[in-house]
Amino acid sequence: MSHAPASSQSAAWRPDTIVLHAGYDGLQHQRSAAVPIYQTSSFLFENAQHGAELFDLVQEGPVYARTGNPTQVVLEQRIAQLEGGAAALAVASGMAAIDITLATLAQAGDHVILASALYGGTHNLVVHVLQGRGIASTVVARGDSDALRAAITERTKAVFLESVGNPSGEVADIAAIAALAHDHGVAVVVDNTSATPLLIRPLEHGADVVLHSATKYIGGHGAVIGGLIVDGGRFDWNAQTQRYPQLTRPDPAFHHVVFTERYPEAPLLARARTVMLRNAGATLAAHSAFLLLQGLETLALRMERISNNTLAVLDFLQVQPQVARVFHAAVSGHADREQARRYLRGGLIPGLLSFELHGGRAAARQFYDALQLFLRLVNIGDSKSLAAIPAETTHHLLSDAELARVGIAPGLVRLSIGIEHPDDLLADLGQALKQATATSDSSPSSIDGLQEPA
């Protein structure tokens, strides 16, 4: 269940090289230069003894594609190395990655804390769906260390946050949250989808588990859905045997294995694969793993272009008379600007931003309908530039109070910046803004918690 460690040479590779070469030796795969698609449901046993030893955990190796195949393994090794983690697991979607991680950590009677404004689907899963499974949750305002400390109980199994908020663009103080959570023996799970490991590596700042919706920037082309879980391999589960018995005591769901003993390098990841994925079946198809590998190869190039384009869009929007507020950590006056400088790597900035127009919801709809180059859809992280109105799409299941708490006004527009020529992006935004006249709207345009640029 564990992956082979990186060679001494590959351990020193930069991200631009890791995305192309890590975890793969073509000489071991019929000399194929490209990672092959292992389109099979099952893998052969050499003989009866071999099959018995695989099932008795005497040997390790692929048995049934529900828990992985060689195409998927290459993707997992590259992501683990990019994030600086011990091991990774690829699953069917980003939501599956969240669900599997929290189900690995928590069960009925347990508790999860949300420590930042989150993507609407994540909020709905944790606050409403997990409640039906008997797992309670508490939403804590970002940066409120007193509230976070007060929310932790003996049944708290995870503090969950996003490194860069969707759609708020806020940058979380991962180190401060992790330090507080660890003081109470609680693991920290960070969704790093919007930042990618090219901008932020949460494990370096104290996170214990990192998640991705690989559908977004890692895939990069809007062509495939997938999710990723990275186990940092640093949390001391054995020091918290009462809080995490599923990892530190024999597990009847998988051969009565004690995961911290059998898989000491990445026990959470091993349980996620052998218990949750094996029994629930949120499997990533081999062809999907192949497509994600193709997208991953250009991640470094795309993030550089996306960052540059985002700067151009931010500069443009801030001087448009129709625009009331722009929300992004790179904007002057944003509360997270200095924090972003501490966390963001390589001089790059996230490609996700949002803004409000004078005229509120009605003006936002006029602007949105007038877009010609930006695609109107709910994905992010595509090579193409995308636009959405969160309150009416990704976050529409949240109540007005919940929308206000996570900083989403009814007329907020979210943009995911792609790799087109910046002049064409600005021209499309400009013509759409001209059609977004200031119209009256009964909904308030200001939401507490969003920072207005200077």
Domain regions of the chain by residue span: 10-296, 299-435
Q: Which residues make beta-bridge pairs with 281?
A: none
Which of residues 399 and 20 earns the better pLDDT score?
A: 20
Given pLDDT bands bounded at 50, 70 and 90, which one contains residue 161? Answer: very high
What single DSSP character describes residue 28? G
Sorted by sequence, the CB contacts under 8 Å of residue 321 that are 6+ apart come out as 358
pLDDT tens track for 101-116: 999 999 999 999 999 7
Q: Identify the pLDDT of residue 118.
A: 82
Q: Identify the pLDDT of residue 403.
A: 65
Q: Identify the pLDDT of residue 445.
A: 42
Taking the CB of residue 33, how many other CB atoms lie within 10 A of it?
A: 7
The type of residue at 117 is A
Same topology between domain 10-296 and domain 299-435: no
Q: Over pLDDT 90: what percentage of the chain? A: 80
User: Distances from the Cα of 379 to the Cαs of 19, 65, 95, 145, 167, in angstroms?
Assistant: 22, 28, 13, 32, 12
* Range of lowest pLDDT (91-100, 153-162, 225-234, 396-405): 396-405
Residue 447 pLDDT exceeds 60:
no
**Full-model pTM:** 0.91
Sorted by sequence, the CB contacts under 8 Å of residue 60 that are 6+ apart come out as 1, 2, 54
Q: Identify the pLDDT of residue 3.
A: 46
Q: Over pLDDT 70: what percentage of the chain? A: 91
CB 289 within 8 A of CB 90: yes
User: Distances from the Cα of 229 to the Cαs of 91, 93, 98, 256, 273, in angstroms?
Assistant: 8, 10, 8, 23, 10
Q: At the topology level of CATH, where does 299-435 sit?
A: Aspartate Aminotransferase, domain 1 (3.90.1150)
Residue whose C-alpha is closest to residue 384's, from 394, 397, 374: 374
* % helix, strand, coil for the chain, step of 5: 40, 15, 45
The type of residue at 115 is A
Q: State the number of CA atoms in the 13 A half-sphere of 120 facing the CB.
A: 21
Q: Torsions phi, psi of 397, nearest 5?
A: -80, -10
Q: Identify the pLDDT of residue 169.
A: 87
- What residue has token string 């994925």? 277
- What residue has token string 């391999």? 233
Q: Which residues make beta-bridge pairs with 161?
A: 190
Q: Identify the pLDDT of residue 405.
A: 65
Alpha carbon distance 408, 396 (integer Å)? 10
Q: At the topology level of CATH, where does 10-296 sit?
A: Aspartate Aminotransferase; domain 2 (3.40.640)
Rg, Å, the chain Cα set? 22
CB 230 within 8 A of CB 211: yes
Judged by phi (left if over 0) then psi (alpha if -120 to 50, else beta), residue 229 lies in beta
Per the document, the length of the chain is 454
Q: Identify the pLDDT of residue 235.
A: 98
pLDDT tens track for 327-383: 999 999 888 999 999 999 999 999 999 999 998 889 999 999 999 999 999 999 999
pLDDT tens track for 404-446: 666 677 788 999 999 999 999 999 999 999 998 744 343 444 3
Residue 400 pLDDT exceeds 80:
no
- Give the pair of three-digit tokens for residue 258: 């004690």
On the question of a cis peptide bond just before residue 167, with omega within 30 degrees of 0, the verdict is: yes
CB 445 within 8 A of CB 391: no
Given pLDDT bands bounded at 50, 70 and 90, which one contains residue 187? Answer: very high
- Give the pair of three-digit tokens for residue 33: 């230069």
Q: In whole numbers, what is the pLDDT of the chain averaged over residues?
A: 91
